[in-house]
């Protein structure tokens, strides 16, 4: 009789957990996955995928406006929010089915219920069943964080609810200045809503390159989005179907919806971590793991947003795959968390990989900056007042490209390709030796010859 019911029990059916389950099962492990809500996790069900579909839909409005400059006369147009939501729901259901099918095809078993740790090897399901496992992987992701409770917090929605609103708000206040806040600001503005963004910091996109932060803000404001920084929502009042958001500066804004997108916290509550002896990282509130994604308990691992390391879907997938390779494939693999490309599907779009100028100047004595800000070819005919930003951060001593930052149409697509070069430690000379692909915006990345700034840190006397 086997010592354990399964070789691996995965808590969470999102991107990281599903990848780990499939790879482990392919190695011959007996695997069970518990998911209490819907297979696919945050990204597929209420994150990246529906968000990107909404972004694409909202961008159509701009395409219609730009068409006149190219000779198109487009008559009366209308938009139906309910149709968008219904079609999005169909696509998410299809993807959920694909995730479920792929796990089952690998030989792993799915149980649609909540799972809680009783000890290091025992999991109790909400059905009352108990399962023992040689290894346990926690991949429960994260959830929206509304921050400190303010009066009227019960009237506030998160990104979760934004995907299921019955109707498009005419006016919406969004608190936050990161990925989710700015992406939804662009979405609602594109569909015709009056959007106000409230952020407590000095500028949006904290942690991004300063030039990117300034450029995105200026472009969003050109598109009619109000951005108020150095401020927070202190109270939300409800009047019938309307709301008033009171701000720390003393002013207030009337709205049909108030949305908070001020960050996410790891889903660690009620998992039985204490009973199993799994430690929480005091620095970030996520499950504490080492470089192999192992927790404080030898046979329990954690991947993805629940660890609060780098909260990006492809990172969770890579961590889940590496875990399965290491534990069940006997091929030790550690995930390199350096030089991870990322995108903000704001409007304009942001793509970035590597170091910001500020980070590079802190780490390297000689930093060269190559930067260009230009009107894209489409705008010359559409008449739209918009500009593209491209920036390379280079180590002046070794000539290595340390970072690339792009703001404009297809920024994410451009950055994915450039990320390969940055990861391979390409030099500025390598970029210069690459023939430009004309006419494109991205050719600027291989035609910038003269630094726009040079920063040399003087050695201490």
Q: Supply the mean pLDDT for the chain.
A: 95
The whole-angstrom separation of Cα 364 and Cα 259 is 40
Query: Where along the chain do its domains lie?
Result: 6-144+265-327, 153-262, 348-455
Fold of 6-144+265-327: FAD/NAD(P)-binding domain (3.50.50)
Predicted TM-score of the model (pTM):
0.94
pLDDT (0 to 100) of residue 458: 76
With cut-offs at 50, 70 and 90, classify the pLDDT of residue 459.
low
The whole-angstrom separation of Cα 148 and Cα 260 is 11
Question: Tokens in use for 186?
Answer: 């662009």
- State what percent of residues in the chain have pLDDT above 70: 99
Predicted confidence (pLDDT) at residue 145 exceeds the cutoff of 90: no
Q: Name which of 145, 225, 142 is nearest 191 in CA terms.
A: 225
The set of residues, in sequence order, having a beta carbon less than 8 Å from that of 269 and lying 6+ positions away, is none
* Residue 106 · residue 93 · CB < 8 Å: no
Predicted confidence (pLDDT) at residue 460 exceeds the cutoff of 60: no
pLDDT (0 to 100) of residue 227: 98
| Cis peptide, bond prior to residue 284, ω within 30 of zero | no
Question: Which has the higher per-residue pLDDT, 176 or 42?
Answer: 176
pLDDT (0 to 100) of residue 207: 95
For 232-243, give the DSSP string. Answer: -EEEEEEETTEE
Residues with catalytic roles: 438
* Residue 320 · residue 20 · CB < 8 Å: yes
Question: 20-55 pLDDT, tens per residue?
Answer: 999 999 999 999 999 998 999 888 888 999 999 999
Cα separations in angstroms, 240 against 138, 175, 234: 43, 22, 20
Q: How far apart are the first and last CA of the chain?
A: 72
Predicted confidence (pLDDT) at residue 2 exceeds the cutoff of 80: no
pLDDT (0 to 100) of residue 1: 47
CATH of domain 153-262: 3.50.50.60
* Residue 327 · residue 24 · CB < 8 Å: yes
pLDDT (0 to 100) of residue 457: 87
pLDDT (0 to 100) of residue 263: 86
Same-fold call for 153-262 versus 348-455: no
Mean pLDDT of 277-304: 95
Centroid of chain to Cα 90: 22
Print burial letters for 127-153: b (CB count within 10 Å at least 16), e (below 16): eeeebbbbbbbbbbbbbbebbeebebe
Predicted confidence (pLDDT) at residue 290 exceeds the cutoff of 60: yes
- Find the helix or strand (DSSP H, E) in which 25 lies: helix 15-26
With cut-offs at 50, 70 and 90, classify the pLDDT of residue 331.
very high
The set of residues, in sequence order, having a beta carbon less than 8 Å from that of 341 and lying 6+ positions away, is 351, 352, 353, 415, 416, 418, 419
Question: 389-417 pLDDT, tens per residue?
Answer: 999 999 999 999 999 999 999 999 999 99
Mean pLDDT of 298-316: 95
* Residue 373 · residue 314 · CB < 8 Å: no
Question: 418-438 pLDDT, tens per residue?
Answer: 999 999 999 999 999 999 999
Q: Name which of 162, 151, 147, 145 is nearest 257 in CA terms.
A: 162
Which residues are paired to 34 by β-bridges? 11, 111
Question: 230-269 pLDDT, tens per residue?
Answer: 999 999 999 998 999 999 989 999 999 999 999 889 999 9
Question: What kind of architecture, by CATH, is found in domain 348-455?
Answer: 2-Layer Sandwich (3.30)
Q: Which DSSP state fits 372?
A: E
Pairing state of beta strands 226-229 and 194-199? parallel
């Amino acid at each position: 009789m086997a010592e354990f019911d399964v070789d691996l029990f995965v808590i969470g059916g999102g991107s990281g957990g599903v990848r780990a389950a499939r790879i482990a099962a392919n190695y011959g492990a007996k695997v069970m996955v518990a998911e209490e809500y819907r297979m696919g996790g945050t990204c597929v069900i209420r994150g990246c995928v529906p968000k990107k579909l909404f972004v694409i839909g909202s961008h159509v409005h701009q395409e219609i406006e730009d068409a006149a400059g190219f000779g198109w006369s487009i008559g009366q147009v209308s938009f139906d929010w309910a149709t968008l939501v219904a079609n999005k729901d169909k696509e998410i259901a299809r993807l959920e089915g694909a995730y479920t099918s792929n796990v089952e095809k690998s030989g792993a078993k799915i149980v649609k219920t909540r799972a809680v740790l009783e000890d290091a090897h025992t999991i109790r399901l909400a059905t009352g069943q108990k399962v023992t496992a040689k290894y346990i992987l926690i991949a429960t992701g994260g959830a929206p964080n509304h921050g400190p409770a303010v009066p009227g917090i019960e009237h506030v929605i998160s990104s979760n609810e934004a995907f299921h609103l019955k109707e498009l708000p005419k006016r919406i206040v969004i608190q936050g200045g990161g990925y989710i806040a700015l992406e939804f600001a662009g979405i609602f503005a594109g569909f015709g809503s009056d959007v106000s963004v409230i952020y407590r910091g000095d500028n949006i996109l904290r942690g991004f390159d300063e030039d990117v932060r300034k450029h995105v803000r200026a472009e969003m404001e050109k598109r009619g989005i109000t951005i108020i920084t150095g401020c927070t929502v202190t109270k939300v009042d409800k009047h019938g179907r309307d709301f008033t958001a009171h701000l720390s500066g003393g002013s207030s804004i009337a709205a049909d919806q108030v949305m908070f997108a001020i960050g996410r916290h790891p889903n660690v509550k009620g998992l039985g971590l204490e009973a199993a002896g799994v430690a929480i990282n005091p620095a970030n509130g996520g499950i504490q793991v080492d470089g192999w994604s192992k927790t404080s308990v030898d046979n329990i691992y954690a991947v993805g947003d629940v660890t609060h390391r780098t909260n990006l879907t492809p990172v969770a997938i890579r961590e889940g795959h590496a875990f399965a390779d290491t534990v069940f494939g006997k091929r030790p693999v550690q995930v390199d968390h350096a030089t991870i490309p990322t995108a903000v599907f704001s409007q304009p779009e942001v793509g970035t990989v590597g170091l910001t100028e500020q980070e590079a100047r802190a780490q390297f004595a000689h930093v060269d900056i190559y930067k260009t800000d230009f009107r894209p070819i489409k705008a010359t005919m559409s008449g739209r007042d918009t500009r593209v930003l491209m920036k390379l951060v280079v180590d002046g001593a070794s000539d290595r490209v340390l970072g690339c930052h792009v703001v404009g149409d297809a920024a994410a697509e451009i950055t994915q390709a450039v990320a390969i070069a940055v990861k391979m430690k390409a030099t500025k000379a390598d970029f210069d030796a690459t023939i430009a692909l004309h006419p494109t915006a991205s050719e600027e990345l291989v035609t910038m010859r003269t630094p726009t700034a040079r920063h040399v840190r003087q050695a201490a006397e």
